Structure 1
């Protein structure tokens, strides 16, 4: 399914708009914003998504020492533009070993963040308790942005979610100890605003997390 659009909620096949429907449709989830094929890490890939998306494309910038950009994907079509983005990066984990981080921005109901988080979606819903103080904070486009822990996720990852620029912001880290990155007020840049700085992004190998 890497070469054709799929459902952002389950990865299943979708049907293109046609005579009986003006939206992309998944047999399991009905009308969806199609998930485009994953793009291997390159400056050109970032430029493609930046041109297409109507939501932020978040990246830690500057990247933590030793970390690399490892792939990007976008949900949406050419008519409506990108309604969700997911960007992967990887590098040395805070407690040793390799770490991976996915940052997802999406409109309400798209379901891409919940899919990578490993929970029933499409949004954090009952898995997100915002009655207490946030467990993590990032600086997103210059604004302090609280993130809360998302419960009910698989044990192999740490998941946080909050709101930035009026949209969901998800952070999914593997292994769960890599979630410590989110406790140090990680600085996130919306690459739509980055300009020529995008040419400086260091690229690594494609993350298999984006293909799951």
Structure 2
């Protein structure tokens, strides 16, 4: 996803709007909101996404001890604004080793969360057993937000999804056992509301999962 815009659903190349189409086009998925090139993790990169997006930029805040911000991706363009965001963080896992977390906020049909989840998309609805109690809850922008297990992802990750601020919220965790992190009453902040605190975000190396989920 680094270098040029790509399809949020498959990561393939997209064609810019032109004479015959007024939207970005993927050869496989048709009209899409393109994922913009991923920048190395920095406060400036995070701030640029926060300014452009129309959807939340979710991050555990404060970050758990030892955790770092490791990248951000945005689907959309200057005309439409961001229609999906993905924030990556990494740090010590609940069972030892290093864990990685990607939080995705997106409008219906964008498909970025399903791509990181490793399932057919674009939305998590068909993969959620919402008739059952949620597996866990997070506090998103001060509101208790139920999350359900997403069925069918690859065995190397745990995936949860629900709704926050009227949009899809995905949490994808590597490795699968590190899904225990989602049971620790995680507090999520929409960084659009963070103000000057965004300057305090500690940055690590770029998460390869943002580029190759």
* 1:190-209 equivalences in 2 (<5 Å): 190-209=190-209
Q: Which residue does 1:18 correspond to in 2?
A: 18
**Secondary structure of the structure 1 residue equivalent to 2:134:** coil
Measured after TM superposition, the shift of residue 2 of structure 1 is 1.4
**Secondary structure of the structure 2 residue equivalent to 1:147:** strand
List alignment gaps of at least 5 residues for structure 2.
Answer: none
Measured after TM superposition, the shift of residue 127 of structure 1 is 1.2
How big is each residue's C-alpha offset from its partner over 1:22-62, in whole Å with a ceiling of 9 and x where there is no partner?
00000000000010011211000111100110000000000
Report the Cα distance in structure 1 between the residues aligned to 2:193 and 2:66, rounded to whole angstroms.
23
How big is each residue's C-alpha offset from its partner over 1:157-212, in whole Å with a ceiling of 9 and x where there is no partner?
00000000000000000001111111111000000000000000000010000001
CA-atom RMSD in angstroms: 0.6
**Structure 1 position 145 matched with structure 2 position 138:** no
Measured after TM superposition, the shift of residue 125 of structure 1 is 2.8
* 1:100-139 equivalences in 2 (<5 Å): 100-139=100-139
List alignment gaps of at least 5 residues for structure 1.
Answer: none
Q: Which residue does 1:8 correspond to in 2?
A: 8
**Secondary structure of the structure 1 residue equivalent to 2:152:** coil
Measured after TM superposition, the shift of residue 126 of structure 1 is 1.9
Count, aligned residues: 212
**Structure 1 position 88 matched with structure 2 position 50:** no
Report the Cα distance in structure 1 between the residues aligned to 2:120 and 2:129, rounded to whole angstroms.
16
Are the equivalent residues in 1 in contact too, given 2:2–2:39 (CA < 8 A)? Answer: no
TM-score under structure 1 length normalisation: 0.99
Query: Moved runs in structure 1, 4+ residues, more than 6 A?
Result: none
TM-score under structure 2 length normalisation: 0.98
Are the equivalent residues in 1 in contact too, given 2:158–2:175 (CA < 8 A)? Answer: yes
**Secondary structure of the structure 2 residue equivalent to 1:74:** strand
